[in-house]
Amino acid sequence: MLDTQTSPATRYQNAKSMNAIAMDEFPEIGKVVEKLRKIETMVPRPRPDEVAIELKASSMHVDEIYAAQGTSLGRFFGPKIVSEEKPYIMGSSVSGTIVGTGEKITKFAIGDDVIVIPHETGEIGSWATYRCVAEDMVMAKPDVLNHTQAAAVTMASCVAWGAIEFGSVRPGDRCLVVGASGAIGILMVQILKSLGAHVTGICSGKNAGFVRSKGADSVIDYTTQNFGDLPSRSFDRVFDVVGGRRIEQNAFNVLTPSGRFVTVVGPVCHVGERRLSWIEFLRIVGHVVRRYCATLFGGPRYIFSAKLPRSAIHGAMEHIVKHDITMPIEREIGFDLEQIKEAVVLLTSHRTKGRIVINFEKGQA
C-alpha cells in the first residue's frame, strides 16, 4: 500500500521494488496484449546525468505496440532479449515529478514537474511507477497543462509541428489533413487554424462533427467520397498521417503546382501491422527517396516528415500553450493490467479519437 505520510522523494528513496506492466517473452505479431503481465521489479536509480521521475501519466501509442512486436521500426529499436530475468517494460510519453537526481544534475530539482522529450529511436519503461531519464531529455511541464494533458500531447505535438514546419504553411493556404480525427491529425487541424490556414479534414462521417469542433472549415467523409476526385489545384498543402500510395496519388491530383505533400507515414498504410522483409523495407525507402528527388525539379513537392522530436518539442509546446490547443483524450485509464490490455486492443483497431492516457494516480497495477 502506498505510504501517503512521507514525501514522494522519501518514498522513492525507501522503495526497493515497484509495480510495472511488461512482457516476459516475445509476442506473436498482433498478440502483444496476450503477453502483458503485472510484475514487480527493482526501482531504477539515476546515473550522474539522470533524474528519477515518479510517473503521473503516460500516453499510449500504437507505435509502442509495433516496437514491442518487432514490426515497422521495431525491427531496429524493438526488444532484442525478453525474459523473466529481463522483462520488456513498454511505454514512452511521460509526465511526472522528479523524486531523485544524479550528482551532475543542474537544471532540475526534486519536486519539479516535467515531461520526457520523445527520442527518435523510441522509448520504453513508462508502464511503471518510476523511470530514470537523462537530464537533456527532460523539460519542464507547462503549468497550464495537468499531467494527463501533458502526456497526451507530447509525442503528437512533435510530429504535427515538425510536419507543418516542413510544409511551410502561410496564412490563407488551403490545407488538407488526411486522418484528421486521430491524435496527430486533430492537433494538425488546430495548429493549421491557428496559423491562419483554411483547413479541410478527411475522416469518417461519424467523426465529422468532432473534427469540425476542433476548427476544420470543412470535412470530407472518406467512406463516401474520394478526395482525389476533387478539382485539380484545390489545395496548397496536403498532410498525410495515414499512409498509402493511393493517398499520395490522390494528393498530387489536387495539389497546386507549387504545393507540398507532407507524409509522416510513407507509402504503406499501417506499416507496423506486419513484419516487412528487407526487400519490402528497402522498396519503401527507395520510394520515399525517389519521390522526394523527382519532385525537387517541378510540380508539387513530396516530403517525408522526420523532424527530430528534440528539435520540435519546444516550439510545439510554446505554440500549443499560446493558442490554447488541446489533445482530445478518448479514454483515461488507471495503471491497471486489464484496463491497459483493453486499451491496446482499442489502439490497434485504429478507431481512437485523440489519445488514451494512463493516469497513475487513478489506480495501481
Domain ranges of the chain: 8-141+328-359, 155-309
Which one-letter amino acid corresponds to residue 87?
Answer: P
Look up residue 249 and give its DSSP letter: H
> Does the domain formed by 155-309 have CATH 3.40.50.720?
yes
Look up residue 234 and give its DSSP letter: -
DSSP, residue by residue, 66-88: HHHHT-TTHHHHS-S--SSSS-E
Distances in Å between the Cα of 112 and the Cα atoms of 98, 108, 183, 296, 329 are 5, 7, 27, 46, 24
Each residue's pLDDT tens digit in the chain (365 positions)?
455 568 999 999 999 999 999 999 999 999 999 999 999 999 999 999 999 999 999 999 998 899 899 888 777 788 888 998 899 999 888 999 999 999 999 999 999 999 999 887 667 899 999 999 999 999 999 999 999 999 999 999 999 999 999 999 999 999 999 999 999 999 999 999 999 999 999 999 999 999 999 999 999 999 999 999 999 999 999 999 999 999 999 999 999 999 999 999 999 988 888 888 889 989 999 999 999 999 998 899 999 987 888 899 999 999 999 999 999 999 999 999 999 999 999 998 888 888 999 999 886 65
- Cell 526497493 found at: 16
Burial of 250 (0-12, 13-18, 19+ CB in 10 A): buried
Q: What angle do CA 351, 25, 78 make, to 5 degrees?
A: 60
- pLDDT for 175 equals 98
Task: Annotate 1-40 with b (16+ C-beta within 10 A) or e (fewer).
Answer: eeeeeeebbebbeeeeebbbbbbeebbeeeebbebbebbe
Residue 208 phi/psi, 5-degree rounding, is -60, -45
CATH fold for the domain made of 8-141+328-359:
Quinone Oxidoreductase; Chain A, domain 1 (3.90.180)
Give CA–CA dist 159/163, Å, rounded: 6
Burial of 202 (0-12, 13-18, 19+ CB in 10 A): buried
Cα 216 from chain centroid (whole Å):
21
Q: Which stretches of 262-336 are DSSP H helices? A: 278-294, 309-322
Give CA–CA dist 20/71, Å, rounded: 23
- pLDDT for 220 equals 98
Edge to edge, the sheet with strand 255-263 lists 218-221, 198-203, 174-178, 235-240, 255-263, 301-304
pTM given for the model? 0.92
- pLDDT for 239 equals 98
Residues paired with residue 115 on neighbouring β-strands, in sequence order: 95, 139
Non-local (6+) Cβ contacts of 166 within 8 A are: 260, 262, 303, 305, 307
Non-local (6+) Cβ contacts of 247 within 8 A are: 178, 240, 263, 269
Q: What angle do CA 200, 184, 225 make, to 5 degrees?
A: 35
Distances in Å between the Cα of 205 and the Cα atoms of 100, 253, 348 are 48, 23, 20
Are the CB atoms for 120 and 159 separated by under 8 Å? no
Helix (H) or strand (E) holding 203: strand 198-203
- pLDDT for 1 equals 44
